[in-house]
Amino acid sequence: MATDTDIAPAPTETDHHDHPAHLQHHFVSSEQQFDSAKLGMWLFLITEILLFSAMFVAYAVYRQWHPETFVAASETLNVTMGTINTIVLLTSSLTVALSIHYIQKDEVKKCIYNLGATLVLAGGFMVIKYFEYTSKFEHGAYPGGMFDPHGGHYAQLADVPFASQFFSIYFVMTGIHGLHVIIGMAVIGWVAVRAWMGSFSSEYYTPVELTGLYWHLVDIVWIFLFPMLYLI
């Protein structure tokens, strides 16, 4: 993870009195370090976007070839749960944006509360996801080769050709997205602990800001996944 490795403050080599503790020796100023970290993070984000792009291409191609299948298969997904999850994730985006807002104003406590709220919401997202997954597994809606739908409204999919492709794409996309949520939770937890230890202030809050950017990207991916998989 770019966020973990490149921005933690290094032990300074020179003991100069106006040298901030977080400034690494090869940077001239905090400003330069902050700008570099942020550009690095945006570059990392576009690698993430391109990572997901291949799955979007797969979705687009199979939808183009088998539109009826995708309509039929997406009707078996639980729109209520999907909508709730969307709102949960959007709210978590708000809380993480607020945490940056508060750290910029030096209100460390409020920042930590908001990071904590983000963690709770992310956990909630994963729990809902877990129930969605298990309800599908119960009816044999596995990805690809193990696809064997039975029971409930899944039974009708047995006669729909290429329905297994939809579920492959569904599980791969949401699975990799879920993996990003879990990684995000770990990073947010780490940032919250460091904020608790007093590492951040309005002078230095780069890790909070970068984690926020990452979390918003996870949110954006879901913003697209939700209508693609659940609604259309």
Partner 1 sequence: MSTDTQNTAVAQPDEHEEGENYLNHETSVWSWLSTKDHKRIGVLYCVTLALVFLAAGVLALVMRAELSGPGETMMANDTYNQVFSMHGIMMVFLFLVPSIPAILGNFVLPMQIGAKDVAFPRLNLASWYVYLAGATLTIMALLWGGVDTGWTFYTPYSKTTGGGVLWMTSAIFVAGFANIFTGLNFIVTIHKMRAPGMTWNRLPLFVWGMYATSIVQVLATPVIGITMVLLILEQVLQIGIFDPSLGGDPVLFQHFFWFYSHPAVYIMILPAFGIMSELIATFSRSRIFGYRAIALSSVAIAMLGFLVWGHHMFVSGQSVVSSIVFSLITYLIGIPSGIKVFNWVATLYKGSIWLQTPMIYALSFLFLFSIGGFTGIMVGVLSVDVHLHDTYYIVSHFHYVMMGGTVVALLGGMHYWWPKITGRMYNETLGKIAAFLIFVGFNLTFFPQLVLGAKGMPRRYATYADRFTELHQLSTAGSGVLGVGLFLVLGYALWSLKYGEKAPANPWGAATLEWTNVAALPDPHNFKRTPLITRGPYDFHLADEVFGGGDGEADGDQGLRVPDAAPAAPLEPSRDA
Partner 2 sequence: MSDDGHHILPKATLLKVFGGLIFLTVLTVAVAYVPLGPLAVPVAIGIAATKATLVVLYFMALRYDNPVNALTFTIGIIMVMVFITFTMIDTAFRGDMGNVDRQTMGEIEREQEAAQQQQEQIPSEQLRVAPADYPDDRGADAGAASGDGDS
Alpha carbons 201 and 198: distance in angstroms, whole number:
8
Report helix angle 30-65 to 163-196, nearest 10.
160
Among 1, 8, 10, 90, binds partner 2 (CB under 8 A): 90
13 touches, from partner 1, partner 2, none (C-beta below 5 to 8 Å by class): partner 1
Is residue 66 within 8 Å of residue 161, measured between CB atoms? yes
- Minimum gap (Å) between residue 132 Cβ and partner 1: 18
CA angle in degrees (0–180, nearest 5) for 182-120-191: 65
By CB under 8 A, the residues from 101 to 140 that bind partner 2 are 101, 104-105
- Residues found near partner 1 in the complex (CB under 8 A): 2, 5-6, 13-14, 16, 18-19, 23-29, 31-32, 35-36, 39-40, 43-44, 46-48, 50-55, 57-58, 61-62, 143-146, 161-162, 164-165, 168-169, 171-172, 176
Count of chain residues binding partner 2 (CB under 8 A)? 46
Amino acid of residue 87: I
For position 64 contacting partner 2 by CB under 8 A, the verdict is yes
CA distance readout (Å), 25 to 10, 12, 15, 29, 33: 8, 7, 11, 9, 10
Task: Quote the longest CA-to-CA distance of the chain.
Answer: 74
- Among 188, 178, 177, smallest CA distance to 119 is for 188
40 touches, from partner 2, partner 1, none (C-beta below 5 to 8 Å by class): partner 1
Is residue 118 within 8 Å of residue 96, measured between CB atoms? yes
Among 1, 21, 43, 155, binds partner 2 (CB under 8 A): 43
64 touches, from partner 2, partner 1, none (C-beta below 5 to 8 Å by class): partner 2
223 touches, from partner 2, partner 1, none (C-beta below 5 to 8 Å by class): partner 2
| Interacting residues toward partner 2 by CB under 8 A | 31, 34-35, 38-39, 42-43, 45-46, 49-50, 53-54, 56-57, 60-61, 64-65, 79, 83, 86-87, 90-91, 93-94, 96-98, 101, 104-105, 212-213, 216-217, 219-220, 223-224, 226-228, 231-232
